[in-house]
């Protein structure tokens, strides 16, 4: 197959990936997710760093992160904590400021997003020189495991309503397992107004508006085993508000 004009092969070791891990009460999950990240990056040979953005978790997540830093090294594990819980969207923005990679990977720290998919994200990005690659639960072999009916309906519903209102041309709008070119993410973040979970949806909608190219990789999302979701009723209300704001302004 002829290679596309845009897919200039970058140097095998030219690219660096900054993984942003926002954490709030993830003491049990953090060691395993970090171990898996180190494993898959080690095997694939790409340069990387892991940036943990802990929001003053009362369960001692930051202390665990400090121990992991001792084990894997300060060049691999960066700690960029904040004093209190300020929301997922702003946690990413905070993390980006400290990232030294030319690509940024955003994912959950609770093992719902498996690091084994990262090499696929990277390959997909290189294949089409995409501005961003989004994991999708709603295409191909993608899926969701372990959610109750309520949670499935919320997620499907949020995706469906957004698809109908905004037609963003991506199959998973509320997912948060994504890879971005750093400068693309920076320019998207500048445009984004939302602070909580709705951030993910706004990012992909804005990406389409700005004509950024989007690649997709099917992922399986597995509900967390340890700890609990921080997605509460408030977040659902602010999602709807955010959606309406976007609908009105785009
Ligand atoms: N620093 C920080 N601050 N981290 C946070 C905060 C916060 O205020 N709130 C949540 N997190 C972290 C969690 O510790 C976890 O690593 C990640 O963000 C996702 O939080 P969860 O509470 O596990 O989210 P979820 O499983 O309910 O929701 C997932 O699915 C949604 C819809 O499909 C996430 O992937 C969401 O981003 C997604 O929108
Ligand atoms: Mn989760």
Question: Does 1 reside within a domain?
Answer: no
Alpha carbon of 7 to ligand 2 centroid (Å): 34
pLDDT in the model for residue 235: 74
Q: What atom in ligand 1 is closest to the CA of residue 199?
A: 39
Question: Does 10 reside within a domain?
Answer: no
Domain of 30, CATH number, reads 3.90.550.10
Name the residue range of residue 171's domain.
15-249
Question: Does 88 reside within a domain?
Answer: yes
pLDDT in the model for residue 9: 47
Q: What atom in ligand 1 is closest to the CA of residue 53?
A: 1
State the DSSP string of the chain.
-PPPTT-PPPPTTT-EEEEEEEESS-TTTHHHHHHHHHHHHHHHT-EEEEEEEEB--TT-HHHHHHHHHHHH-TTTEEE--BSS---HHHHHHHHHHH--SSEEEE--SSSSS-GGGHHHHHHHHHHHT-SEEEEESSSTT-EEES--HHHHHHHHHHHHHHHHHH--S-S-SS---EEEEHHHHHHHHHH----STTHHHHHHHHHHHTT--EEEEE-EEE--SSS-----HHHHHHHHHHHHHHHHH-
Structural domain tally of the chain?
A: 1
Which ranges of the chain have pLDDT less than 50?
Answer: 1-11
**pLDDT tens-digit readout, 177-212:** 999 999 999 999 888 887 767 888 889 989 988 999
Question: Does 61 reside within a domain?
Answer: yes
pLDDT in the model for residue 1: 41
pLDDT in the model for residue 80: 98
Question: Does 8 reside within a domain?
Answer: no
pLDDT in the model for residue 161: 84
Question: Does 245 reside within a domain?
Answer: yes
Query: Which ligand sits closest to the CA of 144?
Result: 1
What is the residue with the minimal CA distance to atom 17 of ligand 1? 108
pLDDT in the model for residue 5: 43
Query: Which ligand sits closest to the CA of 138?
Result: 1
């Amino acid at each position: 197959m002829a290679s596309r004009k845009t897919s200039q092969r970058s140097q095998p070791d030219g690219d660096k990936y900054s993984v942003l891990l926002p954490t709030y009460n993830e003491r049990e999950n953090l060691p395993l997710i970090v171990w898996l990240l180190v494993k898959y990056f080690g095997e694939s040979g790409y340069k990387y760093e892991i940036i943990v953005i802990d929001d003053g978790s009362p369960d001692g997540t930051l202390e665990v992160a400090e121990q992991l830093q001792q084990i894997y090294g300060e060049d691999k594990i960066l700690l960029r904590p904040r004093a209190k819980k300020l929301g997922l969207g702003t946690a990413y923005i905070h993390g980006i400021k400290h990232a030294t990679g030319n690509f940024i990977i955003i994912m959950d720290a609770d093992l719902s997003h498996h690091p084994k998919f990262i090499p696929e994200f990277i390959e997909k990005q290189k294949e089409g020189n995409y501005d961003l690659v989004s994991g999708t639960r709603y295409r191909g072999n993608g899926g969701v495991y372990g959610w109750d009916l309520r949670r499935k309906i919320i997620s499907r519903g949020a995706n469906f309503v957004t698809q109908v209102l905004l037609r963003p041309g991506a199959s998973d709008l509320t997912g948060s397992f994504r890879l971005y070119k750093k400068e693309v993410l920076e320019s998207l973040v500048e445009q984004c107004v939302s602070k909580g979970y709705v951030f993910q949806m706004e990012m992909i909608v804005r990406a389409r508006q700005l004509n950024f190219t989007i690649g997709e990789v099917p992922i399986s999302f597995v509900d967390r085993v340890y700890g609990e979701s921080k997605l509460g009723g408030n977040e659902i209300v602010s999602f709807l508000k955010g959606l309406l704001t976007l609908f009105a302004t785009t």
